[in-house]
Amino acid sequence: MPTAQPLRTGDPQRLGEYTLSGRLGEGGQGAVFLGTRGGERYAVKLLHGPVGDERGAFLREVELAKHVARFCTAQVIDAGFDEGRPYIVSEYVEGPSLQREVALTGPRRGGALERLAVGTATALAAIHRAGIVHRDFKPQNVLLGPDGPRVIDFGLAKALDAAATVSGRGVGTPAYMAPEQITASAVTGAADVFSWGATMCFAANASAPFGQDSVAPVLHRILTAAPELGLLDGRLRTLVESCMDKDARNRPTSRDLLLALLGEAGDVPDGVLSSPPAPILRATPPLIPEPRPPMAEPEETGASGGYVLPESREPTGSGSALAELGREQSTSGGPASVDSPAGVGGGSGATGWGRVGRPPETSGPHPGTQLTQPPKRGWPRAAIAVCAALTVTAAVLLTVLIPTFDEQRGAQAGPLLPDTNPPVITQSPIGESTPIRTRKETQEQREPTAKPPPATRPVTVPVPSLVGMSKGAATKALKKAGLALGAVTEADSPEKIGQVLGSEPASGAEAARGSKVALQVSKGVAVPAVTGKARQAAENALTGAGLEVGTISHTCSDQPGGRVLGSDPEAGSRVAGGTSVNLTLSRHGTAVPPVVGRSRADGRAALEAAGFRVRQRGQVVEDESRAGTILRQSVQAGSCAKPGATVLIIVGVAGQSGPPDPGDEQPSPTPSGQIPGD
């Protein structure tokens, strides 16, 4: 949005709940004001004419507009009526229009143009998805906010139709209208796609594709001529050309337009859409707890007191130390009693883990002998697990504590002698080899590694709010906050020259104390060159640059009348937005020199030197001191007259009785009266 100007006479001070504080602009549809409510700023657009019987349709379109995605548009907030004239309230976007920015900084190129195309096409697709046809998509309705382009003035179709009928104004801007809007055919979203293409042509060339002169020639070229695509090139040129097809049926939809800008589906590498790319970090799987020792389960037979380990249901061969121990006793001829751990696998030496509590197939020292007493129950599996756990714990404690005691004794007795003995390998109760490391190896493992010194975290301070300050005030604020002034860059802006526009790091960000903060300051806007232009063209150039037209003065010149001879400030000067620029216009002709009060000879010489012919007439004066002095001249001094024109001068003469001076005409009998030719 441009800088707000003061309200004019007749402008409303309030619309609904919104207090108006200034003007943001005015166009063919209505005037836009800066409104506030609850400390928030809004853009309030008041249409020129009433909507008549279309109030309901207008409010329905506003409700639709409220649901348009707001990431690429100025969100519609509210709407209402003021003495029959509708107004619509939208989000205030801090930034110039595309029309104004291109006029100030020139056409867009490369990535900037492509970002503009994608952002505006996204907005158009969002508007159409909400069921709305914009009908007036143009550079003036694209605001370049700090976070990207925003499209405004959508959701006004019904209101604009009705207001245009009442006020006699047309809907749409001629240079960006689609052919169907000119021929009064059905208007759909395809018209907005056509206007989007024309807007991209303007962004790339600083001129509309069908010209911006008189309305009739522009409309004729839209209907019959091909658009001037200018500097558009590559893929974007082809796409814009298809969007500006005369037949609306041949144009892409806004959705197809956006997809075409992003690239065809075939351009996506294989595997990107079907599975996450390799660089994407996947979620860390939850930690899986280590499996606990298996619990004993009831025997399948249901025998009382009979339990079996899950893995004992299937023979595991000779993988168990206890089974191996049972086999050794069995093969050695010793009794495999069920009262001892060795008898766990009795009668099934080849099957590894046996079933606890089952009677062995053979029992006793002599095969074939029948036991007269029932065998005793085997140890429960839980008791075996506890014994094994205690044994492992004892082995670990011995492995850790013995080297520790040795180190303590060695520290008291003196330095340790080199130990050349290899590690002693002991057999654990469960059949695993556990190495017992020497004192030297243990000492090397326990020796702490050098830790890097802890990094000191730099002291940070928040960057103060600097936007709106002068460069000097911003420098003082930075110094007060414990920061320093960094690089200072200038940018075109309507703000006051030297005013801070932004900082890096931005306001509120944390920065290390003493670090430098770069500033971007306004260098104002350049006064456009208007010399040689007609008055109206010069005024349009000034207002388009965000400046005001000041006083108008005239001077004689050989230039045609109404041409601009100069401006104050001069062209190229840097001024703040809204500054008044004075213009000097031409009046065709030569300035008539002032000769009243001069002698007749001097006056005649001055007039003749300026290129005028002189006629002289005498007038009797009572004061003899005025005799021979020019009393009046027929053409006012300083006015412009054609070279060679006749200027009549009245010269005072004293009363006399003799004949008059041969060079004088007959003296006038009265000292006053209208001079012929004045």
Specify the 3-state DSSP secondary structure of 342: helix
Higher-pLDDT residue of 352, 489: 489
Same domain for 67 and 100, yes or no, is: yes
Q: What burial class does residue 493 get, using C-beta atoms within 10 Å of its C-beta: 0-12 exposed, 13-18 middle, 19+ buried?
A: buried
pLDDT at 445: 54
Same domain for 488 and 627, yes or no, is: no
Same domain for 578 and 596, yes or no, is: no
CATH number of the domain that residue 46 is part of: 1.10.510.10
**Structural tokens at position 323:** 């089974």
pLDDT at 139: 94
Which of 562, 588, 614 delimits the end of a domain? 588
Residue 300 neighbours by CB under 8 Å, 6+ apart: 308
Same domain for 113 and 32, yes or no, is: yes
Indicate the range of 36-45, 384-393, 594-603 predicted with least confidence. 384-393
Residue with tokens 């493992």, as numbered in its chain: 445
Same domain for 162 and 124, yes or no, is: yes
Asked if residue 78 has pLDDT above 60, the reply is yes
**Structural tokens at position 312:** 């004992």
Which H or E run includes 625?
A: none
Question: What is the count of structural domains for the chain?
Answer: 4
Closest CA to 613 of 644, 574, 642: 644
Residue 149: CB atoms within 10 Å: 22
Of the pLDDT bands very low, low, confident and very high (cuts 50, 70, 90), residue 119 is very high
Q: Is residue 676 part of a domain?
A: no
Higher-pLDDT residue of 158, 312: 158
pLDDT in tens, 172-222: 578 999 999 999 888 899 999 999 999 999 999 999 999 988 888 999 999
Q: Is residue 30 part of a domain?
A: yes
Strands 484-491 and 516-522 come out as parallel
Kindly report whether the peptide bond that precedes residue 374 is cis, defined as omega within 30 degrees of 0.
Answer: no
pLDDT at 30: 83
- Diameter of the chain by CA atoms? 191
Mean of the pLDDT values across residues 82-97?
A: 89
Same domain for 555 and 483, yes or no, is: no
Residue 24: CB atoms within 10 Å: 18
Q: Is residue 448 part of a domain?
A: no
pLDDT at 457: 67
Q: Is residue 443 part of a domain?
A: no
Does the CA dihedral 53-184-130-50 come out positive or negative?
Answer: negative
Strands 548-557 and 484-491 come out as unpaired
**Structural tokens at position 346:** 């009795």
Q: Is residue 409 part of a domain?
A: no
CATH number of the domain that residue 641 is part of: 3.30.10.20
Same domain for 518 and 530, yes or no, is: no
Asked if residue 599 has pLDDT above 70, the reply is yes
Q: Is residue 631 part of a domain?
A: yes
Residue 40 neighbours by CB under 8 Å, 6+ apart: none
Domain residues for the domain of 85 are 14-264
Asked if residue 350 has pLDDT above 80, the reply is no
DSSP state of 305: T
pLDDT at 206: 92
pLDDT at 279: 46
Kindly report whether the peptide bond that precedes residue 569 is cis, defined as omega within 30 degrees of 0.
Answer: yes
Same domain for 600 and 584, yes or no, is: no
pLDDT in tens, 428-480: 444 444 444 545 555 555 555 556 666 566 788 898 989 889 988 999 999 99
Strands 424-427 and 297-298 come out as unpaired
Q: How far is it, in rounded angstroms, from Cα 74 to Cα 144?
A: 11
Asked if residue 352 has pLDDT above 70, the reply is no
pLDDT at 323: 41
Residue 588 neighbours by CB under 8 Å, 6+ apart: 556, 557, 558, 559, 560, 561, 640
Asked if residue 618 has pLDDT above 50, the reply is yes
pLDDT at 607: 92
- Maximum average pLDDT range among 424-433, 610-619, 655-664: 610-619
Same domain for 191 and 167, yes or no, is: yes
DSSP state of 306: -
* pTM (predicted TM-score): 0.42
pLDDT at 165: 45
pLDDT at 44: 92
Same domain for 260 and 227, yes or no, is: yes
Same domain for 235 and 127, yes or no, is: yes
Which of 238, 264, 290 delimits the end of a domain? 264
Indicate the range of 23-37, 616-630, 657-671 predicted with least confidence. 657-671
Which of 556, 588, 620 delimits the end of a domain? 588
Q: Is residue 392 part of a domain?
A: no
pLDDT at 414: 47
Of the pLDDT bands very low, low, confident and very high (cuts 50, 70, 90), residue 160 is low
Higher-pLDDT residue of 252, 63: 252
Same domain for 518 and 499, yes or no, is: yes
Q: Is residue 190 part of a domain?
A: yes
Does the CA dihedral 262-139-541-205 come out positive or negative?
Answer: positive
Catalytic residues: 136
Q: What percent of the chain has pLDDT over 70?
A: 65
Q: How far is it, in rounded angstroms, from Cα 417 to Cα 414?
A: 9
Q: How far is it, in rounded angstroms, from Cα 165 to Cα 17?
A: 28
pLDDT at 15: 92
